[in-house]
Structure 1
Amino acid sequence: MNGTAGLAALTVEGRKTSASRAVLVTTVLLVAGIALLAGSLTWAAARGNERVLAQLGPLAGEAGWDRLMGVVAQVTAAASLLGFGTVLSWMFGREFTEGTVSGLFALPVSRPAVAAAKLAVYLLWALGVAALLTALLGAVGTALRLGAVDAGVIGALARQFALTALSALLALPAAWAATLGRGLLPGIATTVGVLVVAQVVAVAGTGAWFPFTAPALWALQPAGVSPVQLALVGLVPLVFVPAVLLTWRRLQLDR
């Protein structure tokens, strides 16, 4: 994607995304929802709520910022993947469900350029979500008086930002599935399937080598995931970005 046509595609996709209620609602749920849930659980645990402490498992023995960041990492691992997958499904699947895909064949911008613009806008939005969520978590921890914001806390917040951003990359299969299935539901179903498999692999104890699980494990226990294992996350965009672009290049109206 280059030149005036590429810029036009970026502008159009950016306007569609910024005007979407689906994206707005997802943004609010991801940012405010995760922060509110993690903050509430941390607050209740600090006051000795036995039900909450039982649900926290090993995190029940933590305190202060360590407990908050542990809780939010667990919530983010699942919620962000589902939220990002839903937005990707909307961005790519709506062209088919709303019947606007036929108009793309008449545009001077190539279909791969349109798909690339969608992915670029999506990634910019996801980085914004990660930044907002990280900032809000810092404010929540400060409001709960969890302690001083030292180097350890800043490192935990940085890992939270990275976890959210990496989750955006892990949701990319939804864009390919929504294109192949020509609608929102295939993309969402694929995201749910990936989430289920990731949970099973994590329980099995081999999640550090599974790209869809490694970021969450790293955010919880940085020493338990090696740089090589974390780097495997890069395989997801390496595979699915070209797959999406190729699928859009070969896209036909009759099938």
Structure 2
Amino acid sequence: MTGMAAVLEVEARKAAAALVLRVGGAALAAGTAVLAAVLAAAVRSGNEQVTAKLGVFAAAAGWDLLVVVATQVVGAGAVLAFGVTLGWSFGREFTDGTVNGLTAIPVSRPAIVAAKLIVHLVWTVAVASALTGLVTAAGLAAGLGAPDAHAAASLMRLFALTVLSGLVATPAAWAATLGRGPLPGVAAAIGLIVAAQVAVVAFPAGGAWLPIAAPALWAMRPEAVTAAQLLLTPAFALAFAALTVASWRRLQLDR
């Protein structure tokens, strides 16, 4: 087994045993499905408060209504959920005192960072799959019938939004490294959410050019976001992955 394969196996075992990942993933996937079903039912029953919060999207019906509500929930909460778990993945090495032993193994520090980020991406895809499946199950249970082509496309955008939200949360890894603990990663995730919302409100015409806002805007209004704008999100994630690698290269273990 190569060094990279070994460290990938170690990080995968850590993730599989981590309560914070299981709870975070379950809360995001199941919570989104439940909230979407409840809020969609509230709109159908004429609840004025919920209708007002959804704005123009409250005019949707059937699968469109369910998915747009789920999209808004994911747009608001997924970055925080992924930021918490990514911050834990990097920050726990410092708070648990395992960073010294981790860097002593015959694997480069960039390989350790890469393994953590790869495991995070795989876990993000798994959560996105579960979330999309549960929202689909909620729609079927509500009697909406089998999703047509339009609804299926909306569900696929919901899946993609969840995965892209995992990429948006990448700065949490860098923050947790610099702050030597999980909490700076959580703070970074909250900062990303606030920055995205402020930017969209302040610059509605240019919000799609902001990598942290483009995925949610695209999921709700795909015609309003170009492919070039959407591709800035993985580029943004790669940039912060590189910063995290650079920070681990310069990591001083005697602090």
User: How high is the TM-score relative to the length of structure 2?
Assistant: 0.96
Q: What is aligned with 2:97?
A: 99
Q: Which runs of 4+ in 1 moved over 6 A?
A: none
The superposition leaves residues 194-249 of structure 1 with CA deviations (integer Å, 9 ceiling, x where unpaired) of 11010011112131111100110111011111111111112212211111112112
Aligned AA (2:190) = V
Q: What is aligned with 1:67?
A: 65
Q: What is aligned with 1:215?
A: 215
Q: What is aligned with 1:225?
A: 225
Aligned AA (1:213) = A
The superposition leaves residues 104-133 of structure 1 with CA deviations (integer Å, 9 ceiling, x where unpaired) of 232112222111111111110000001111
Task: Identify the range of structure 1 (12-21 vs 53-62) with the bigger mean alpha-carbon deviation.
Answer: 53-62
Q: What is aligned with 2:170?
A: 172
**CA 1:5 to 1:216, structure 2 compared with 1: closer, same or farther past 3 Å?**
same
CA distance in 1: counterparts of 2:199 and 2:144, whole angstroms = 33
Unmatched segments (≥5 aa) in structure 1? none
Query: Which residue among 115, 118, 121 is the counterpart of 2:119?
Result: 121
CA distance in 2: counterparts of 1:6 and 1:228, whole angstroms = 32
Task: Identify the range of structure 1 (150-159 vs 54-63) with the bigger mean alpha-carbon deviation.
Answer: 54-63
Q: What is aligned with 1:235?
A: 235
Aligned AA (1:75) = V
Aligned AA (1:232) = L
Q: What is aligned with 2:185?
A: 187
User: How high is the TM-score relative to the length of structure 1?
Assistant: 0.96
CA distance in 1: counterparts of 2:77 and 2:137, whole angstroms = 20
Aligned AA (2:200) = A
Task: Identify the range of structure 1 (156-165 vs 97-106) with the bigger mean alpha-carbon deviation.
Answer: 97-106
In the TM superposition, what are the counterparts of 1:51-90 in structure 2 within 5 Å? 51-90=49-88
Q: Give aligned pairs, total.
A: 253
RMSD (Å) for aligned C-alpha atoms:
1.2
CA distance in 2: counterparts of 1:140 and 1:150, whole angstroms = 15
Aligned AA (1:240) = F
Among the aligned pairs, what percent are the same residue?
53
Contact 1:64 1:147 in 2 (8 A): no
CA distance in 1: counterparts of 2:107 and 2:224, whole angstroms = 46
Please report how far the alpha carbon of residue 49 of structure 1 lies from its aligned counterpart in structure 2 after TM superposition: 2.2
